[in-house]
Amino acid sequence: MKSVISVLLAMLLLVLSPGTPAQESDKPFAEAHVVLQLADGDAQTQARTLSVANNLIKHYRGPDFIDIEIVAYGPGISLLYPDNANRERVLSLMANDVRFVGCTNTLDTIERSTGERPELIADVVLVKTGVARLIERAQQDYVVIRP
């Protein structure tokens, strides 16, 4: 009996250990955890990244079964500008629980060079370093994809 309890406790600790994608994403039924890397300001690349996210949601039968985060940094940050041509697609994906993450280092660099800090779409998650976010997610067993 004691060994059964020990095994059950070990399994419980494994499931609840910090940093597991399900715990990080609050999507206990997610079959996959994906982070899409966007460092390109090209409109076609940005549109392709959004299409990949949309196709993954369809493939996994809805947003509850896939955890998607799009990390934008460098020229890719322009996807998150309110006047971006893909704004409606971004908002639609946000409504389907896709997280959009913007790099504060990129915003700081733009502000230093232009004198103005770019405004971003509401509900964008800001992190200090976009590339560091990719590393953290990879360490949390997210699949990192660069469409």
Secondary structure in 3-state letters for the chain:
CHHHHHHHHHHHHHHHCCCCHHHHHCCCCCCEEEEEEECCCCHHHHHHHHHHHHHHHHHCCCHHHEEEEEEECHHHHHHHCCCCCCHHHHHHHHHCCCEEEEEHHHHHHHHHHHCCCCCCCCCCEEECCHHHHHHHHHHCCCEEECC
For domain 19-145, give the CATH number.
Answer: 3.40.1260.10
Tens-level pLDDT at each residue, the chain (147 residues): 544 444 333 433 333 444 444 445 689 899 999 999 999 999 999 999 999 999 999 999 999 999 999 999 999 999 999 999 999 999 999 999 999 999 999 999 999 999 999 999 999 999 999 999 999 999 999 999 999
**pTM, full prediction:** 0.84
Tens-digit pLDDT profile for residues 74-111: 999 999 999 999 999 999 999 999 999 999 999 999 99
